[in-house]
Amino acid sequence: MIIVIDGPAGSGKSSTAKEIANRLNIQFLDSGALYRAVTFHWLNSGKSDIRSFIELLPDVKIASKYKNNTFFVSLDGSDITNQLRQHYVAEHVSEIATQPDVRMFVNNYMRNLVVNGTYIADGRDLGTAVFPDAEIKFFMTASIEERARRRFNEIKETDPGVTLKDVEENIRQRDNKDQNRASDPLKKADDAIEIDTTGKTFEEQISEMISIIENKTKLNH
């Protein structure tokens, strides 16, 4: 079974999905981390020609696991988890994630991963393109200012050079690219439940979403 949470950058999808996974004792899948992993790989390749890079994607060995409240990602056997939240990766992820072949690569990985077990995943097009038959679909939103503040607080310790202004501008650019990309643009699925977290505490949004999940499935905490 798969439960999905879609929404724009910085809306709190990952932290929310992780907490729900912990409370319901299910697996967490961070689709954004997978796109950042591919972006990190492209940056480390010297930002080579994208077409040449994509042709070699099938040979890339990507692996992930959720343990101790962290979604770990490895690339060709090397753990790259700590590098994925760096601002320089975030600056380029939309450039790579808009490529249809990259999306196909990541989507196929996720579909194969969730064949067995119960997962909650967060992303931008999970309910519309990747898992259209998901058991429950959420769409999280929040103001740009609140999303930037959350993301800044999340990364400032590992990326001390970044500013709140940098993060807010990056989120505005990400929103524009995500909503206007030709392949699987960001949009709310018709059957998704919208959760606006502006002004809500973390516990309030978690309680609201777990209540919905428990009412619609056999899962409980």
What end-to-end distance do the CA atoms of the chain give, in Å? 17
| Confidence at residue 135, expressed as pLDDT on a 0 to 100 scale | 95
As a whole number, mean pLDDT of residues 137-144 equals 93
Q: What are 74's two structure tokens? A: 């490895």
The matching CATH number, chosen from 3.40.50.300, 3.30.590.20, 2.40.160.10, 2.40.110.10, for 2-204 is 3.40.50.300
Looking at the predicted structure, is the pLDDT value of residue 174 above 90? no
Bridge partners (DSSP) listed for residue 122: 5, 30
As a whole number, mean pLDDT of residues 192-206 equals 92
Full-model pTM: 0.80
Containing H/E element for 30?
strand 27-30
Give the whole-angstrom CA distance, residue 45 versus residue 120: 32
The SS3 call for residue 137 is: strand
The SS3 call for residue 96 is: helix
Cβ pair 30, 122 in contact under 8 A:
yes
For the chain, the 3-state helix, strand and coil shares in percent, each to the nearest 5, are 50, 15, 30
Looking at the predicted structure, is the pLDDT value of residue 88 above 90? no
Q: 10: pLDDT confidence band, cut at 50, 70 and 90?
A: confident
- pLDDT tens figures, 89-133: 988 888 888 899 999 999 999 999 999 999 999 988 899 999 999
